[in-house]
Amino acid sequence: MSDSTPLLEMRDIRVKLPSGLEIVRGVDLVAEAGKVVGVVGESGSGKSVTVRAALGLMPSSSTLTGSIRFRGEELANAPQRRLRQLRGSKIGLVFQDPMTALNPVITVGNLIAEAVRLHNPGMSWRKARLRAVELLDMVSVPQPEVRIDQYVHEFSGGMRQRAMIAMAVANNPDILVADEPTTALDVTVQAQIMEVIKGLQQKFSMGLILITHDLGVIAGVADTVVVMYSGKVVETGPVRQLFYASRHPYTRGLLSCLPTIVGDGGKLQPIPGSPPLLSARPSGCPFHPRCALAQDLCRTSEPPLREVDRLQTACHFAETLRDGQFHPVPSPKGQP
């Protein structure tokens, strides 16, 4: 594999349920070594399903189409045996809720040691336990030589997430997928967890795919951002460009929900309404029922992604959207 080849490249990913309902609709995503991709959107936007498709962890009986290439190897509909070889060794996954993802009747040390030995069958339990201590220390768990003999319920929420991260990086994966890793944690612990993840990502030059609904988290760590809504990508591009010059009303709505101490008295500006049910997706642009700037065209035609000002944006009026309003494009000189 050449240096220019992405670690993970997903093209036109579509996931369809047995009922025929398409829950992921033509998503593209690229992850590179040493880079962070943030995938954001409200609950139900298809973030987790899209990324888990690369690991073969889709809803049962669902159908996957499109291309998923890991280091040039096609993984779409690959045998489960091959996917199991990659999961945990080359691709690590941090689940959203460690309390339900970790086995409560096995000590934390044995959980991590098992993850190590699964991909290193020749390693003894003694060496695997020493590796578990090393990993817990790496993710800043205090007294790791004592903690390895404790159970999940004896760990705090932040400590459980650190143990989950230790398992995910146990075999030095090329890519780490973190699915809402700071959900249900207080702000201080969130910052600590993100510091751990970012530190490990930089130390091992891993590619990192960070799934979250929190653009505040994305702002501090991501290189590129993928914004999803109703199962598809509505905007993507470099993080600074997206934050300061977004051309999609949905992205602007997410940004307006971030707390601020300047402008409008510090009041939050929530997006009106709720995301549509996937089984009752509206015609045209799926965001138009909640968009204050929607026009007749938005209600009848779904816009494709196209490049506007270094961003890929799916909005009919992306070229004229600035400062949260549409600004008509001036006519050439001498024309009405």
Q: What is the reported pTM?
A: 0.90
| pLDDT tens for each residue of 224-281 | 999 999 999 999 999 999 999 999 999 999 988 877 655 555 567 788 999 998 888 9
Tell me which residue of 293, 174, 148 sits closest to 162, measured CA to CA. 148
325 pLDDT band, cuts 50/70/90, is low
Tell me which residue of 20, 32, 19, 25 sits closest to 66, measured CA to CA. 25
Are the C-beta atoms of 324 and 271 separated by less than 8 Å? no
3-state SS class at 56: coil
What pLDDT shows up at residue 323? 61
What pLDDT shows up at residue 55? 87
Place of tokens 């402008």: 263
What pLDDT shows up at residue 143? 95
CA distance 293 to 286: 13
Mean pLDDT (whole number) for 39-51: 92
Sheet holding 306-308, edge to edge: 91-94, 175-179, 207-212, 36-40, 224-229, 232-238, 311-313, 306-308
Mean pLDDT (whole number) for 319-335: 58
What pLDDT shows up at residue 260? 66
Sequence-separated (6 or more) residues with CB below 8 Å from residue 215: 40, 243, 254, 255, 257, 258
Tell me which residue of 182, 178, 181, 199 sits closest to 190, measured CA to CA. 182
